């Protein structure tokens, strides 16, 4: 495994609360794993044998229905923690939406390590509460928001998690980022059709809220307006 000191998400992941010696101990029980887009890392209903930190890439949490349909219930990004420590079963299928790298631990090793490090347990609790807030937000997004509200909310969340460059223009800050997946995947995430997603993005561009330099590049030109549209 690559040294924790050179980890890309070292200062944002749950292990940020550990000191040098504790990181070395954690390093000894971890492994770096690369997964390709479409590959599953964990399966819903399986024994919970693994937990992981996301180093790079984007993954989805989904649950299946009896007729084969899938519902995406969450998205995880670099520095997010996935898996169910101190739990018997995986509650969701975790699948890479892009090529990704994760730092994996067997659940038994991680559980034992966390019990010996209260700071890490506290960080896990904080992350769990944050995920609960996100889950409630997701319920609102899927259950009550209109298509324009869904797309606007999605773009705001993407900007918060993925923005890589902020510059100043005459009417305020402009945020630019590249989506890690295409419009069909956006449609799957939001419970919309790809045609609806494309229409909403075009309308947002025509109304001056965003610019679309390419199919995946997004520039937010009017964040306040987009936030108002998101409800």
Domain assignment of residue 203, given as a range: 146-229
Buried b (16+ CB within 10 A) or exposed e, 191-207: ebeeebbbebbeebeee
Q: Per-residue DSSP letters for 40-69?
A: EEE-TTSB--EEEEEEES-EEEEEE-TTS-
Evaluate whether 29 touches 109 at the Cβ level (below 8 Å).
yes
Q: What is the mean pLDDT of the chain?
A: 85
- pLDDT for the residue numbered 3: 63
Last residue of a domain, one of 78, 112, 142: 142
Question: Do 118 and 189 fall within a single domain?
Answer: no
The per-residue pLDDT for range 81-140, each reduced to its tens digit, is 898 888 778 888 999 989 999 999 999 998 898 888 888 888 888 877 777 777 777 777
Of the chain, the percentage scoring pLDDT greater than 90 comes to 35
- pLDDT for the residue numbered 166: 37
Question: Do 50 and 160 fall within a single domain?
Answer: no
**Residue 120, Ramachandran bin (φ over 0: left; ψ between -120 and 50: alpha; else beta):** alpha
Question: Do 113 and 193 fall within a single domain?
Answer: no
Question: Do 70 and 88 fall within a single domain?
Answer: yes
Evaluate whether 72 touches 32 at the Cβ level (below 8 Å).
no
Look up the pTM and report it: 0.76
Question: Do 41 and 84 fall within a single domain?
Answer: yes
Evaluate whether 60 touches 75 at the Cβ level (below 8 Å).
yes
Per-residue confidence in pLDDT tens, the chain, 231 aa: 446 767 878 788 888 888 888 888 888 888 999 999 999 999 998 888 899 999 999 999 988 877 877 778 888 889 898 988 887 788 889 999 899 999 999 999 988 988 888 888 888 888 777 777 777 777 777 778 899 999 999 999 888 887 653 343 434 557 888 888 889 989 988 889 999 999 999 999 999 999 999 988 999 999 999 999 988
Question: Do 86 and 67 fall within a single domain?
Answer: yes
Question: Do 158 and 133 fall within a single domain?
Answer: no
């Amino acid at each position: 495994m690559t040294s924790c000191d050179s980890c890309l998400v070292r200062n944002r992941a749950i292990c940020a609360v550990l000191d040098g010696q504790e990181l070395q101990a954690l390093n000894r029980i971890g492994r770096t794993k690369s997964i390709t887009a479409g590959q599953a890392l964990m399966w819903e209903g399986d024994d919970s044998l693994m937990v992981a930190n996301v180093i790079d890439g984007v993954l989805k949490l989904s649950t299946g229905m009896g007729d084969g349909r899938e519902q995406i219930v969450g998205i995880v990004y670099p520095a997010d923690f996935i898996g169910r420590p101190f739990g018997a079963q995986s509650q969701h299928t975790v699948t890479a939406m892009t090529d990704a790298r994760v730092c994996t631990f067997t659940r038994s090793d991680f559980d034992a390590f966390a019990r010996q490090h209260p700071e890490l347990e506290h960080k896990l609790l904080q992350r769990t509460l944050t995920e609960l807030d996100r889950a409630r937000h997701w319920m609102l997004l899927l259950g009550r928001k209109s298509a324009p509200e869904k797309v606007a909310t999605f773009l705001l969340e993407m900007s918060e998690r993925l923005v890589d460059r902020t510059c100043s223009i005459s009417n305020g800050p402009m945020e630019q980022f590249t989506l890690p997946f295409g419009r069909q995947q956006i449609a799957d995430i939001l419970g919309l059709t790809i045609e609806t997603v494309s229409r909403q993005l075009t309308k947002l561009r025509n109304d001056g809220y965003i610019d679309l330099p390419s199919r995946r590049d997004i520039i937010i030109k009017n964040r306040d307006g987009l936030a108002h549209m998101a409800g």
